[in-house]
Chains A and B, each alone.
Chain A
Amino acid sequence: MSVPLSLLALLSQGPAYGARIKADFEERTGRAFPLNVGQVYTTLARLERDGLVVADGGPDDEGRIPYRLTDAGRAEVGTWWERPVDRTEPARDELVMKLALAVATPDVDAHAVIQHQRTAAMAHLQRLTRAKLALSAPGSPPQTEPVPTPTSLSDEVVLEHRLYAVESELRWLDHVEGLLLHRRAPQSAPAPSVTLPSAASATAAPSAARPAPDPSTPISRPAAPDTRH
């Protein structure tokens, strides 16, 4: 998990105690990843054990202990900025499972599944766009500074990530719908003239002019009986 590294990154800006680190973390990550103070102190204790941070002097009047980076901690942060985050392991995504099952289950209307999901995703996208507008509109009440501050930029980074995620999901849904239509097309085409030999009739269907869908796609064909040749 990236929270320890995020805390190290914040400490690279100077010593700080737990509650301060928690507040900075939340503000600079668009308030999208709430932490509790207990979690912060547990993490700091682990980082201290690993030699990446040390207590920076004793407790202050209110008993708070500031921490600072060690050289090893500073090196760790440097490596983090340089190293790409590993995104190759796909998440276990309910929608992916559901749609993959839908196209392979004969009595499920995959088009309807797609349509419902698309309507919900589009509404979500519209709400996110509204939120973005509120974030950036110069005259809007909550945000008064005309120049974006670093933290309002962080807010925008987090919000844009959500927007792009929904957008990519919508495009994927459209694509899957296209795949379904292309695969189904040969059966829905009008019956070929009786004089045509059956092999030719397949290529005579208008939709057969399109390239066949990529056979490497992991989604199995919709279960329509289409094996007569």
Chain B
Amino acid sequence: MTEPILQLIDCTRVHGQGETAVRALDGVSVQVQPGELVAVMGPSGSGKSTLLNLAGALDLPTSGQVVISGQSTSQLRPDDLAALRRRKVGVVFQDLNLIPSLTAAENIGLPLELDGRRVSEARRAAVGALHELGLDDLADRYPDQMSGGQQQRVAIARALVGERRLVLADEPTGALDSVTGDGVLAVLRARCDAGAAGLLVTHEARHAGWADRVIYLRDGKVVDEAVGR
């Protein structure tokens, strides 16, 4: 069996302390293999975003371990953790976080530049990622010159740029109509078919239909799992 790209091992995440402590995630174990797209569903407050933050090394578990490409996030120093996030993990969140003073292509190329790649190389990769999503003509537009749906797709291109083998998405089709949304999910699916591991948080069963497995969370626990293939 291949090495999973992402492993959550008995992860618990408690926010706050004492009386007001919230057990947002409670003993959850999940593995995502190369080539796999896993959807996470569950009611509001069930811990989906918490799980995704742990998977993206944006947050650390209170107990348990998160292992990304063989590295345990709890054992890395902050700068190694940042490098892991930049190189291995692509993230699309509900709030897009595009930088207003950068064009679409610059936004997309930024993580590569931060990683020491040449500007021309970052540009080439960014243009390639835009092309993959059919967005060639947006390369030189600033965020305020794009519709919400276009910004969303640029944010997705940013998550897919370079050799990221782990792609995490939290409701990535929020501002898109259903046909455009399908296009985005098809790209995510294609990435996974090409060997990436994907984790997709969604409220919409229709979107979870693109996944190989669906995990249901309730009150921070995995309560059910559906396998499609």
Contact = CB atoms under 8 A, between A and B. Distances in A.
Interface of A: 115, 118-119, 121-123, 125-130, 133, 136, 163-164, 166-167, 170-171, 174, 178
Contacts of B204: 167
Contacts of A126: 208-212, 214, 226, 228-229
Given A122-B226, A123-B227, A178 B209 contact: no
B214 A122 contact: yes
Contact of A125 (B186, B208, B224, B229): B208
B43 A122 contact: no
Given A126-B211, A178-B43, A163 B206 contact: yes
A125 B214 CA distance: 11
Contacts of A133: 186, 189
9 contacts: A119-B224, A121-B205, A125-B208, A126-B210, A128-B209, A133-B189, A167-B209, A170-B205, A178-B43
Interface string B186-219: 1001000000000000001110111110100000
Contacts of B214: 122, 126
Contacts of B228: 122-123, 125-127, 129-130
A115 B224 contact: yes
Contacts, number: 53
Given A133-B189, A178-B43, A119 B226 contact: yes
Given A126-B211, A129-B210, A178-B43, A171 B205 contact: yes
A125 B205 CA distance: 8
A157 to B, nearest CB: 13
A170 B214 CA distance: 13
A167 B206 contact: yes
Contacts of B229: 126-127, 130
A174 B204 CA distance: 11
Contacts of B189: 133
Nearest to A178: B43
Contact of B205 (A122, A127, A178): A122
Given A125-B208, A126-B210, 8 more contacts: A115-B224, A122-B214, A126-B208, A126-B211, A126-B228, A126-B229, A129-B228, A136-B186
The residue among A123, A163, A166 with the most chain B CB atoms within 10 A of its own CB is A123
A118 B186 contact: no
Contacts of A163: 206, 209
